[in-house]
Amino acid sequence: MSVIRQDVSLASIFWSELKSALLATLWMCLLAFPLMTLTINPTEKTFIFSLERMPYLAGGTFVLSILWRFFLKRRAFQGITKAVHQSGGLPEDLTKGPKPTWVTVVMGLRHKRLGFFLLLAFTIVLPFVSSPYTVNIMVTALIYVTLGLGLNVVVGVSGLLNLGYIAFYAIGAYTYALLNHYFGLSFWVCLPLGALTATLMGLLLGFPVIRLSGDYLAIVTLSFGEITRLVLNNLEVTRGPRGISYIKPASFFGIDLNAAPKEFLIKWLGVDPSMDINKIFTYFIILALVILTIVCVFRLENSRLGRAWLAMREDEIACQAMGINRTRAKLTAFALGSTWAGLAGVVFASHITFINPASFSFLGSILILSIVVLGGMGSIPGVILGAIVISALPEQLRFFSQYRMLLFGALMVLMMVFRPGGLIQSTRVVHIHKTKGNGQARLKALTGAPKPKTGGYS
């Protein structure tokens, strides 16, 4: 019965929004008052009030709050119009699939191959034309890509919330560090060994958690991560919190890359003279590993096992009713997900040459999880983008010095409100048939064969 007059509602919306924004400003000012205005003068033991900062804070909060509310309202409004449009009785609209967005345009099928080769060329050329600092960041970013893709198998594809993923990374790193420290084994021997150890540990963790899912699984995996760190911290063999230093970087057929090859590269390719060529080599190792991971994860996702994982994520009871061995699906998801963490761990140890338990804190697990969530659960390009954003963003935000983590958090919140599916949402593989018309024609197109007259069973 209620008929809302548009002009009245718009005005009232405006006032209510303004009021909320003012309230938010007041709240923020109160909250940030001690943080922003009070500093201590240690020599005279007095407080220094810098109240002149407050107007900036208030103004900034007010503007941001108004913007925030505007975008939220706009989003809600778009949602309403879309719903109205759809209830207009156009079922065909639903079958057309999602509307093209900037992401689908950028990732458009037509230029996919070209884009792929450009990207590959860019990543290959990059270390030769950039500074050692950039190469360092890129190695870290690519390690995170591997970790993100590995965790994506567990969380994104299989739907098992693993909050202790960093433990497998630590296991990979320590496998190399210890074998190198005590037995002098080389990087190339330890790379598969690290992966194997992590996989086995994944299996080991998998067995007790077969019956668990959701929150309970999250708690157990979280504890596993912490236990691993504490064990590494307290063992005599791992040298406790002192960690293991002087881990050898990966070797290139025993050739010292910083001797003759370096001079060659500087002379002919104009490489930065301050560059450590070993880092470039590590960069290429991790790049190759990332490509291998992408290929494997892609193949896995579209395999029989991948479908079992998807079914398990969607509904555990229905997945059993389909004849899927839930135990096996869960264990393989855990084990294979951990493999990538192990590989990344070995590369990390060889890259950074010093590891201690503090490098594998709970925050690391959360960071990798944010990569998967931010990038888009179950979406391979999404996770890659997420990893690069997460590892590069804190570096880019250095300009804001001590506020950078705060800003990072704010960006995450914005992300979750406005793009909850992640940067690049995962899309189901869609089989497109161009036929239009009646149901029979569609049916023919779908099954690719003439319609039988009687039942298809034999």
H or E segment and range at residue 178: helix 166-183
Indicate if the alpha-carbon torsion angle 271, 275, 281, 287 is positive or negative. Answer: negative
In the bound state with another protein, the residue whose beta carbon lies nearer, of 239 and 442, is 442
Coil, helix or strand for 41? strand
CB 446 to another protein: min, Å: 6
Are the beta carbons of 388 and 134 closer than 8 angstroms? Answer: no
Biggest alpha carbon distance in the chain? 97
Min dist CB 3 to another protein, Å, is: 31
Q: Which is nearer to another protein, 50 or 447 (CB)?
A: 447
Burial of 389 (0-12, 13-18, 19+ CB in 10 A): buried
Our CB check for another protein shows the closer of 97 and 108 to be 97
Quote the least distance from Cβ 247 to another protein, whole Å: 43
> Among residues 339, 361, 310, which one has the least CA distance to residue 202?
339
Burial 203-239 (b: 16+ CB within 10 A, else e): eebbeebeeeeeeebbebbbebbbebbeebeeeeebb
Q: Write down the least CB distance from residue 114 to another protein, Å.
A: 27
Which C-beta is closer to another protein: that of 28 or that of 329? Answer: 329
Q: If you compute the radius of gyration of the chain from its CA atoms, what whole number of angstroms results? A: 27
Give 276 or 316: the residue with its C-beta nearer to another protein. Answer: 316
C-beta closer to another protein: residue 100 or 439: 439
Q: How far is the CB of 445 from another protein (least distance, A)?
A: 9
DSSP 8-state class, residue 210: T
Closest CB 444 distance from another protein, rounded Å:
9
Burial class (CB in 10 A: 0-12, 13-18, 19+), 301: buried
Determine contact, residues 186/251, Cβ cutoff 8 Å.
yes
Name the minimum Å distance from CB 372 to another protein. Answer: 16
Crossing angle (nearest 10°) for helices 132-151 and 326-352? 170
Residue 159: phi and psi, rounded to 5, are 70, 25
CB of 383 to another protein, least distance (A): 17
What is the C-alpha separation between 83 and 369, in angstroms, rounded? 32
Per residue, what are the HEC states of 225-264?
HHHHHHHHHHCCCCCHHHCECCCCCCCECCECCCCHHHHH
Is 186 or 427 the residue whose CB approaches another protein more closely? 427
Question: What is the 8-class DSSP label of residue 438?
Answer: S
Virtual torsion, Cα 202, 230, 242, 141, nearest 10 deg = 50
Which element (helix H / strand E) includes 88? none
Q: Which is nearer to another protein, 100 or 448 (CB)?
A: 448
Of 288 and 446, nearer to another protein (C-beta) is 446
* Helices 112-129 + 277-301 axis angle, to 10: 160
Where on the chain is the footprint of another protein (CB under 8 A)? 91, 94-95, 97, 304, 307-308, 310-311, 313-315, 317-318, 320-325, 428-432, 439-440, 442-443, 446-449, 451-452, 454-457
How far is C-alpha 114 from the chain's CA centre? Answer: 25
CB of 439 to another protein, least distance (A): 5
Closer residue to another protein in complex, CB, 1/430? 430
CB of 317 to another protein, least distance (A): 6
Give the shortest CB-98-to-another protein separation in angstroms. Answer: 11
Return the number of the residue (110 or 451) whose C-beta is nearest another protein: 451
